Amino acid sequence: MQQPAVTPAPIAPIAPTVPEARHRLVEVPGGRIHLVEQGTGPLVLLVHGFPESWYSWRHQLPALAAAGFRAVAVDVRGYGRSAKPRAVDAYRMPAHVADNVGVVSALGATTATVVGHDWGSPIAANSALLRPDVFTAVGLLSVPYAPRAGARPSDAFARAGGDDEFYVSYFQEPGRAEAEIEPDVRAWLAGFYTGISGDTMPEGGEGALFFVPRGGKMADRFPARGTALPSWLSEADLDVYAGEFERTGLTGALARYRNVDRDWEDLAAWHGAPINQPSLFIGGTRDASTTWMGDAIAAFPTTLPGLVSSHLLEGCGHWVQQERAEEVNRILVDWLRALPATPNTPTPVI
């Protein structure tokens, strides 16, 4: 008797796909960049931070596409399915800027608006600073723009910890944070995301997580295991993030912290330089980035002379575009629609 034909089950993607979105790998001079794109129209490049991925923009991709924009969320080099060079100095800021320029070119465009969150914010800011010919507007989320200053960053971070150790100094030592995180990536990410989210952060706890007890671990300051996840993060969302880092490890992602002094040296020619393009800032009132960097926000009239609007979302923590997706989408779309038209409207490349 002839057996009925069996249809093979589809292979599950590495991460859930956004409806109508397209995953692509594009070649740039530094290797390859994985991206997810949705929509057609003026190009908007979305750059995530630590410890995240393109998936951090899952709420923005369909919203920007519906508003008439070509939204493209990248995996930054060192993350996800993008290139992961072995050399630590391959992750210095000009390399990230070059990746962004390469993505714009690979997509058949000549100009784009760039929007970044967390580490993606300084990557976006420096993309606009170094290549104003390509990046005609810049949106910064959570981390405000602060031009290159006089002090070597590692020296400043070493002083910031006091009796504890500031997290940047902790992350800078090769292998140290990896030894803490990689044995149980999912639990560490859950603690990190929860500890700096507006609705799960302990009252008065802004920034406490970023100070590591001497001889201890960063997780020593996390909320207790079993604490409920923040409202913006489902168990399935956490599985996506954990799955990516369980596959790739954390070294590429942590390399950004291990290049801050190289960045300072590389950007000497732009010491104190403003960003003149139209700009936007969105932060949360419960985010240590906005409280510690209040002086940077106050300096926006000088450092961001093209600033269109600045927003501090009441009660919001660090993960603004995920914690307050609808509000951030509205702000982004209103800002993007008000930007001057550029002569080089990008078109999709098949």
- Over residues 170-182, the pLDDT tens digits come to 999 999 999 999 9
* Cα–Cα nearest to 79, from 323, 321, 255: 255
For the chain, give every domain's residue range: 22-338
226: confidence class by pLDDT, cuts 50, 70, 90:
confident
pLDDT at position 102 is 98
348: confidence class by pLDDT, cuts 50, 70, 90:
very low
The arithmetic mean of pLDDT across residues 216-244, rounded, is 95
Write out pLDDT tens, residues 62-98. 999 999 999 999 999 999 999 999 999 999 999 999 9
Cβ atoms of 17 and 38 closer than 8 Å: no
pLDDT at position 6 is 38
The arithmetic mean of pLDDT across residues 127-155, rounded, is 96
343: confidence class by pLDDT, cuts 50, 70, 90:
low
Q: Is the pLDDT of residue 24 over 90?
A: yes
The arithmetic mean of pLDDT across residues 311-332, rounded, is 98
The fold of the 22-338 domain, in CATH, is Rossmann fold (3.40.50)
Cβ atoms of 289 and 316 closer than 8 Å: no
* Burial letters 190-227, b for 16+ CB under 10 A, else e: bbbbbbbbbebbeeebbbebbbbeeeebbbebbbeeee
Task: Report DSSP letters for 267-283, one per residue.
Answer: TGGGTT----S-EEEEE
Percent over 90 (pLDDT), the chain: 85
> Which has more confidence, 248 or 15?
248
pLDDT at position 8 is 38
Q: Is the pLDDT of residue 232 over 60?
A: yes
Write out pLDDT tens, residues 104-137. 999 999 999 999 999 999 999 999 999 999 999 9
Query: Which has the minimum average pLDDT: 15-29, 162-176, 184-198?
Result: 15-29
Specify burial of residue 31 (Cβ count, 10 A radius: 0-12, 13-18, 19+): middle
Q: Is the pLDDT of residue 327 over 60?
A: yes
Q: Is the pLDDT of residue 345 over 70?
A: no
* Mean pLDDT for the chain overall: 92
pLDDT at position 14 is 47
At 266 the three-state DSSP class reads helix
Give the residue numbers marked as catalytic. 118, 318
pLDDT at position 13 is 43
The arithmetic mean of pLDDT across residues 192-213, rounded, is 91
- Record the pTM: 0.92
Query: Which has the minimum average pLDDT: 201-215, 256-270, 304-318?
Result: 201-215
The arithmetic mean of pLDDT across residues 12-41, rounded, is 83
**Cα–Cα distance measured from residue 96 to residue 333, given in angstroms and rounded to the nearest whole number:** 25
